[in-house]
Amino acid sequence: MKTIDDLIRDGVEGKRVFVRADLNVPLEGTVITDDGRIRAVAPTIAKLAEAGAKVIVASHLGRPKGAPDPAFSLAPVAGRLGEILGRPVAFATDTVGDSAKATVAGLGDGEVTLLENLRFNAGETSKDDAERGAFADALASLADLYVGDGFGAVHRKHASVFDLPARLPHAAGGLIAAEVGVLKKLTEEVQRPYVVVLGGAKVSDKLGVIDNLLKKADRILIGGGMSYTFLAAKGHEVGISLLQEDQKATCLAYLAEAEKRGVEFVLPVDVLVSAEFPDLKGKTPADYEVVATDAIPADKEGLDIGPKTRELYASKLADAGTVFWNGPMGVFEHPDFAGGTKAVAQALVDTDGFTVVGGGDSAAAVRILGFDENAFGHISTGGGASLEYLEGKTLPGLAALED
């Protein structure tokens, strides 16, 4: 896989370099609440600009329906990107239209522009090869070279991720190179004990990764909404907690497979329960109690792992050589139910092993809860991409860069 350093060595001065980034940041109105993904790709953009390239940055944001939607505009991101880079970032109000063409044409060497949301065009996400290809052709007409650095999107067969690299000389950006290097440490160069912590809402989102990691991990710790399907599969009452009834048999099969392979498969022993879901906007105090996982009331919902589980999980992480964590332990957005996620994050900080926070809500939680990002071995920018890599799947965006 060619790298950005190879491109720069060959010369990028005066050339139009298209950088596919992942700037899919959370917004409240026009306010960016977590700029981690912008900061992650900034070094690649800065490196190209400093080498004299005319840098064209493109990304998706949210899930618009293939047409312009002001709620998903990248305009706020352009401003923040400029602040981080310490240089102006021009903003094109479309992706391949008159604004994009004029903005790119006006770029000087070392200047940067951000195009409007790629997903405002139906061709970006189309399942029709011809429609996707036509959009890729239009994007290719704006540039001379392509740099793939949107790790959070490499598991998508989208025009700017999969089709565009085939139309331009291409290379992997610094972020993708770093992410792939980390994932190899989780699959090929593992220091043991290898502990995997999985949370989040649905078991079905993690089936593939559990299946594959049962062959590799020494311990798997389960939390979040997905834990209640495992508990229900073992015959426990889970009240009105998140439950995927159709996955109970699969959960039992995983528990049996773990026992067969000698993998510790650890479930919560206590949880925080409440009769109603907490207020996440006002964050008013919640009415909750701590109960054992075999004593969840039928009219209450589990919202976080309890204090005994936090201690248990910390002990299972203490001697880890490698840790991969994906998914919060509870409704971390509310202070009353953030304790489990905070305890796991702290346990990762305290271990001497190589720790990876696997993107998505876990990465957001680490920042929201005030942890120093440098205290972890790596914080991924792509939760879904990381999981699919660990499942052993071929990621279209990475395959497109390998030639």
Q: Which helix (H) or strand (E) holds 47?
A: helix 36-50
Burial class of residue 95, CB neighbours in 10 A (0-12, 13-18, 19+): buried
* Whether the Cβ atoms of residue 268 and residue 222 lie closer than 8 Å to each other: yes
Active site residues: 37, 202, 360, 384
Q: How many Cβ atoms sit within 10 Å of the Cβ of residue 188? A: 7
SS3 readout for 177-199: HHHHHHHHHHHCCCCCCEEEEEC
Q: Which residues participate in the annotated binding site for substrate?
A: 22-24, 37, 60-63, 119, 156
Asked whether the beta carbons of 331 and 337 are under 8 A apart, the reply is yes
Q: Are 329 and 363 in contact (CB under 8 A)?
A: no
SS3 105: helix
For tokens 């528990």, the residue is 255
Binding positions: 22-24, 37, 60-63, 119, 156, 206, 302, 333, 359-362
Q: Virtual CA dihedral for 380, 387, 213, 201, nearest 10 degrees?
A: 100
22/38 Cα distance (integer angstroms): 8
Q: How far apart are alpha carbons 165 and 309 in whole angstroms?
A: 47
145, β-bridge pairs = 17
